[in-house]
Amino acid sequence: MSIRKNYLIFDADIGKNKPENIVNADATCPFCSREQLTDIIASDGPILLVKNKYPVLMDTFQTVLIETYECNAELSTYSKEHLYKVIGFGVKKWQEMVQSGEFTSVIFYKNYGPYSGGTIRHPHMQIVGLKDIDYTEYISDESFQGFVIHQQNGAELNLAKAPKNGFFEFNVGLDNLKSLNQMADYIQIVIHYLLHHFHRNCKSYNLFFYQVAGRIWAKVMPRFVTSPLFIGYSLPQVSSRAGEVIKEIQNIYFSESQ
């Protein structure tokens, strides 16, 4: 059967064996049993980059970045030292795969919570080399333009004016990698806001990294049940509460610096 070139092919035979302890809390966590992990690519203390044991995406090279020893930890509560190590380690390994020249493009992302599309609760990210697909062909510069929430140290945090999926999407842009710690701070602030202050009961999010037109961006998306208008018609929606959310974040996290 012929498949369009720009579609990733999911290997169902491998997928049926994947552990899923997000939906099944009693399932054993494979990332807690470190003595059983194989194909370790790189490490920095509790942070590991390993080859994905369940490479369900064909024509890719899939890796998993295990963020911490603690299974129930969460990025929004990391110490600054550990936060900077995790983001710095991840971006470095992502860029190494990009610069290797082995892939058409490389994606770097994180799932958290039951609506995120993830299967493992233990904090982790994924770095995936795509052999035949250039993800940037499906990314518009417009989706990174937004209402500025805060700017500092060569980084910008904004609320997207034209979100990819709809409603609230937060962008963090970098002028250069010297601002990486500031990017990490903004990412942590947004995730903390979504999980602890957002007006809806947010329990899931995705974090995506992009390299577009020579600039690095991160996008944080709160995840809920996806709108049928987007599923059926690709019609994203924006919220009338954008101004309120921006002011709320500024008041909670940046009032002392304004």
* Domain segments of the chain as ranges: 12-136, 140-257
- Would you state the pLDDT for residue 15? 79
CATH superfamily of this structure's domain 140-257: HIT-like (3.30.428.10)
pTM for this structure?
0.93
- Would you state the pLDDT for residue 20? 63
With bands split at pLDDT 50, 70 and 90, how would you rate the model's confidence at 23? low
Instruction: Kindly list the distances between the CA atom of residue 182 and the CA atoms of 27, 102, 157, in Å, as whole numbers in the listed order.
Output: 36, 30, 10
Burial of residue 227 (number of CB atoms within 10 Å: 0-12, 13-18, 19+): middle
- Answer whether residue 3 shows pLDDT above 80: no
- Answer whether residue 53 shows pLDDT above 70: yes
Q: Do domains 12-136 and 140-257 have the same CATH topology?
A: yes
With bands split at pLDDT 50, 70 and 90, how would you rate the model's confidence at 201? confident
Find out if CATH 3.40.50.300 is the number for domain 12-136: no
- Answer whether residue 19 shows pLDDT above 80: no
d(CA 28, CA 69): 15
d(CA 243, CA 146): 12
Q: What mean pLDDT is predicted for residues 182-186?
A: 98
Alpha helix stretches (DSSP H) within the chain: 12-15, 80-99, 180-196, 228-233, 242-253
- Would you state the pLDDT for residue 112? 95
pLDDT digits (tens, 9 = 90+) for 73-105: 999 999 999 999 999 999 999 999 999 999 999
Q: What mean pLDDT is predicted for residues 221-247?
A: 93
With bands split at pLDDT 50, 70 and 90, how would you rate the model's confidence at 175? confident
Q: Are 97 and 129 in contact (CB under 8 A)?
A: yes
Q: What mean pLDDT is predicted for residues 96-123?
A: 95
The CA-based angle 253-257-258, given to 5 degrees, is 100
